[in-house]
Amino acid sequence: MDNDATGAKQTTSYDDPDAPWNKEFSEEEMAGWNDGVITEFRENQGRVGGDYAGATLLLLTTTGAKSGKPHVVPLGALYRGDLMYVSSFIEDRYPAWYHNAKADPRVTIELGGEKFAATADVLTGERYVEFAAWALAENSLLAEYQAKVDKPLPLVVLTRTTSPS
């Protein structure tokens, strides 16, 4: 890990042993992992400490494809110009939020102190091919991840549909 201009830790390699996704956690720790991040995010206007200190996180609320219940997950906010998108490093399967967004693209985003409705566009076909080529060229962590897995990188573009609240 390197430090950025603000002194915050920056993960510069997918294989960095200090990167959160490369650390070992018990099942119990993993079961409540997102709960602590979500609470800290909401208590601090989108800022969190620990492994994600200095990162731009968002909270994505999707509707469960099977349960129909709200499902909140913290994700790194990624940008292509003004276009916001999200992806994931889960290696053995696509994440629940991805399946939920495919089933119902109406989502809620919390970013900093803002909360707004948005549409999740799960990229496929030619749009996916073009966007993935750009994302892999621009984001070395995503490129390293993609080189290690057989599944195509999950890419979802998020578009605001309402004003912040």
User: Which of 40, 14, 36 has the alpha carbon at shortest distance from 25?
Assistant: 36
Q: What digits encode the pLDDT tens for the residues 82-128? A: 999 999 887 788 999 999 999 999 999 999 999 999 999 999 999 99
pLDDT computed for residue 82 by the predictor: 94
AA letter at 69 = K
Give the Cα-Cα-Cα angle 54, 20, 93 (nearest 5 degrees).
120
Mean pLDDT of 50-79: 93
pLDDT computed for residue 101 by the predictor: 97
pLDDT computed for residue 7 by the predictor: 47
> Where residue 15 falls among pLDDT bands split at 50, 70, 90?
low
Top CATH class of 2-160 equals: mainly beta
Return mean pLDDT, the chain.
Answer: 85
Place of tokens 């057989």: 150
Count other Cβ atoms within 10 Å, centred on residue 63.
17
Q: Taking the domains of the chain in order of start, what are their residue ranges?
A: 2-160
Look at residue 8 and tell me whether its pLDDT is greater than 50: no
Mean pLDDT of 27-55: 82
